Each structure stands twice: as structure tokens, then as C-alpha cells.
Amino acid sequence: MARPGAACPPPARRVMVAARALLFWALVYSYCGVCACIAGLRLLWSIGRRPGETFRWVVRENPPACLTDPSLGTHCYVRIKDSGLRFHYVAAGERGKPLMLLLHGFPEFWYSWRHQLREFKSEYRVVALDLRGYGETDAPSHKENYKLDCLITDIKDILESLGYNKCVLIGHDWGGMIAWLVAICYPEMVTKLIVVNFPHPSVFTEYILRHPSQLIKSGYYFFFQMPWFPEFMFTVNDFKVLKSLFTSQSTGIGRKGCRLTAEDIEAYLYIFSQPGALTGPINHYRNIFSCLPLQHHEVIMPTLLLWGERDAFMEVEMAEITRIYVKNHFRLTILSEASHWLQQDQPDIVNKLIWTFLKEESTRKRE
């Protein structure tokens, strides 16, 4: 008889691992089915109420003027040698200044960083990237091309292609997930890490399995596992879902926030209404469960985590738990009246908090 606490024999351990994997994937596909049924019912309801509008999709051929505003920076492209993909980015600030690299979330693109492009160009070369599959960046057709290791390598290769070996890395939402992982895998490339409304990946994967409320809020992760149907649902009623994400009372920017203008909304509609423009972004999520659960990893550079407490997709409790994985200076700031879209919602406050973090780290180094 094995002693209490002794290691399980290999056959028993394999059975346990297999059983946990079976339960995990059963949960994933079961919840995927539930989310699909809910989406299907909403579609039928829309067809029943306004059949003519349900399948209306305006063709947007020309970008709104805000996307070519010269005050935001210069539109540039870089082709990565290993992958062969061409990435689009907008850059502000002089070449040669320290690099600040900005990674957007879903469903966003470089434009979500417009306030930061203007703010930080005085002291940084600020680069707001269109991630793989987004906007004008190339979008491989197969979902296997969107695995996390590919997305992490993209950032390393882009950094090198821009002529830098390190940067201040800032990520929001899904871009925050990538930023955490880049900081973990390539710590020598990240001088300071700033993440907006996304916890350490290990916190997220553990918390979501233990808290049904977060599981429900992350339902879109499961819904996105389906082929083509999620893309179709975004197009219903001329991208009503996309508009609602930024403007509705439940998920959008709050009444005290910096609301998106009609032109801002049109910028998002222009980008995501292009043929096939949603498949790449959603493919990011179609590989996530094959990479989970992640092992615990420590972050060793100074880290700032900013959080909008009224986030409809992420529970604020995860923000504080993140502290245990950062083995350096860690600052957490929670804004009580802010939404998930924090850097667009409260740009002045966010920019001030980032400046304070960057300056205090410089002061600490001199001391």
C-alpha cells in the first residue's frame, strides 16, 4: 500500500490526467453548445422582429478621416522574415527614442491607442500595432496560425525588425494576454510591463474554472470555438453587436467616460466590415483551449496593472490576485467608474498613471 502523500504510480497518474482532460474538454464543448443556442435564439428573435434589417450589411469602401489623421502618426508596414507576414502599425515620435509598443484587444485595432499615440510621442517612439489577422496586417487562413506561441513570436520578431532589442510593452484585453506572455518568455526584451484589464494568464485560467460568474462573462471564448457562425452573428443588423460592445449600457463606455464619437464607431465598422476581416481576430480565440491551463510563470520586470472596475467581461478580483506572480515592483490601480475599454474610456487618467509609473521607475533606478 502506498504511503499517504506518496507519488501516484505512472498508470494512475495517467488516468487522472486523462480524466481531468476529459472533464475540461467536456466543459468547453458543452458551454460552447449553450452559447451557440443562445446566439441562435437571438438571431431568430431578430428575424422575427425585423427580417429586413437582420441581414442588412452596409458596404464601407472608404475609411473615415480619423484613420488618416496625421496627428496620430505615420502608417507603416514591416514584413517578418520567418513567418513572411506583413504587419501594419502606426508610429508616432522620433526614431531612436525608446520604444513603446502597444497591443490592442478584441474587437479593436491600432486606433484604440489614439490617445496614447498623441500623449507619449514626446519621449517615446510609440508604435500601435495591428495584431496578426487584424486590420491591414496579414491574416493567415488556418486557425493553427494563431496559436499563442505564434502570437508571442510575432512581437519578438517585430521588435527586432524595428531595430530595437527592448521596449515598454503595453497591452489591453487580448493584447494584455499576449503582453504578459511576451514578458514571461522574453523578459530581456521588456523593460516595463503595463497591462490594461487583463490579469496574469495563470490567474485567469484558474479563476475561470472556479468561479461560474467569470465563466459566464467569458462565454464568448467558448462561442468563438464554432466555425463561421460567430463571424456571421457579428454582421447581423449591420454589425449591431460590434456597436453595442462600445456603446451599450451594460458593456460600453460609461456615462462618465470619454464616449466614442460617431466617426470613431465608423472607424471600427469600416475595419471589421471588410470581407473576411473577422475571421483572423476570432481565430486568436480558437486555439486558446489547446494551450490551457498554462503553467505558473513569474514576471520579473516592474509591472503596472490598470483596471476598470465596471468591466463587463473581467471580474476585478483577478486584478489583486495577479500580484503574487510579479516578482518586482507591482502597482495596481482600479478606476471605479471605468469600463473594460479603459484607455479609450478614461484616456487622461490612464495616461497620467502611465507617466507616473514610468517616471517613478526611472527615479528608483537613479537612487
Q: Give the strand order in the sheet containing 190-196.
A: 74-79, 86-92, 125-129, 99-103, 167-172, 190-196, 303-308, 330-335
Reading the block at residue 226, the C-alpha cell is 464554432
200 is catalytic: no
134 is catalytic: no
Catalytic residue among 89, 124, 221, 285: 285
The residue written with cell numbers 521607475 in the block is: 361
Closest CA to 146 of 284, 292, 288: 284
Q: How far apart are CA 45 and CA 280, in angstroms?
A: 28
Q: How far apart are CA 325 and CA 312, in angstroms?
A: 24
Catalytic residue among 207, 221, 340, 345: 340
Could you tell me the CA-to-CA distances from 158 to 2, 21, 74, 106, 121 in Å, in that order?
Answer: 53, 35, 17, 20, 19
Residue 221, C-beta contacts closer than 8 angstroms, at least 6 positions apart: 285, 288, 289
- Alpha carbons within 13 angstroms on the beta-carbon side of residue 326 total 23
Q: What is the largest CA-CA distance in the chain?
A: 75
Catalytic residue among 173, 264, 311, 345: 173
285 is catalytic: yes
Query: Known catalytic residues?
Result: 173, 285, 340
